[in-house]
Amino acid sequence: MPTEAAPTGPASGALLLCRAAPASVAPVAHLLREPMRLTRAGDEWSVLVPEGRPWRDGAEPVDRVVTGWTTALAVGAPWPVLALWWDPGHAGFTFASGFRRPVGFEWLASGVPVGEDEAMRTFAARLGLDPVLDVEALDRLAEPDSAADAGTRLRGLLAVLARVGVSLPAGLAPGAPADRLLEAAAERPDSLPVEWPGWREAVAERGTVDHSRLGPWMPWTGGPRARALALAQVAAGLPLLVRGLRRRGGGWAAAGALLLAHGALGLTYALTHPRD
């Protein structure tokens, strides 16, 4: 049977790898307001499998959407986020950690590299990969190879990531259609659905934060450090939201909205739970 992308070639899709347990990832992922499945991808990693409505509806390319999501998930979290993405003509990855600018690399469907070598080295350094063996393996992925298409490149990247504990569950292979990936993730015994619960459930009726839903994404101590981080999230979120709305970019708009929302919640907590 034809897939959703049969008229144009392979389907578009993405996988978001977070270096944290599902219990830590779920509260943050809720704020993206995108239906997803969440499951383990190794002892120290989790993987989010998005439904992918922004790119399936043709609103924005998959790489731009996941760049916004990756940025939003990584800002303020103590763990990095790596997105693997693909579409009929390209494939690549985007890596984000904290407030630093995301880095990534891209290949054409044929496997021709179109990214910068320095991005690979920056990625390796930020993720804590071996500066010799792992960097050499990444450098090979950035070199021309007529026998390696984009799918082969992503599998090569996953082989390097296995050295830091990444282990994608069976059925979660880059290049597969989103619906097939969702089915494979749902079959996992530890799989969780990720859906936006709504602000009424995320925030308690008296205006305080419900930690059971929002989790340990930010150190809400009510002190100066927490307030400063909340203000930084608001300051970073506003221009991203404006950019996304102007360009009709779902990924950037989601990133901006998430940062604004979480920063506002952090400020609310700081005001309602003051510390001397």
Domain boundaries, the chain: 13-198, 219-272
Within 10 Å of residue 269's Cβ, how many Cβ atoms?
23
Q: How many residues does the chain have?
A: 276
Per-residue pLDDT of the chain (276 residues; tens, 9 = 90+): 333 333 334 589 999 999 999 999 988 888 787 899 999 999 999 999 999 888 988 778 999 899 988 988 887 578 999 999 999 999 999 999 987 889 999 999 999 999 888 999 999 999 999 999 999 999 999 999 999 999 999 999 999 999 999 999 999 999 988 889 999 999 999 999 987 655 445 444 334 444 444 444 444 445 555 556 666 666 666 566 556 656 655 556 666 666 666 666 665 555 555 554
> Which residues have C-beta within 8 Å of that of residue 68, sequence separation ≥ 6?
240, 244, 249, 250, 251, 252, 253, 254, 255
Tell me the whole-structure pTM to 2 decimals: 0.75
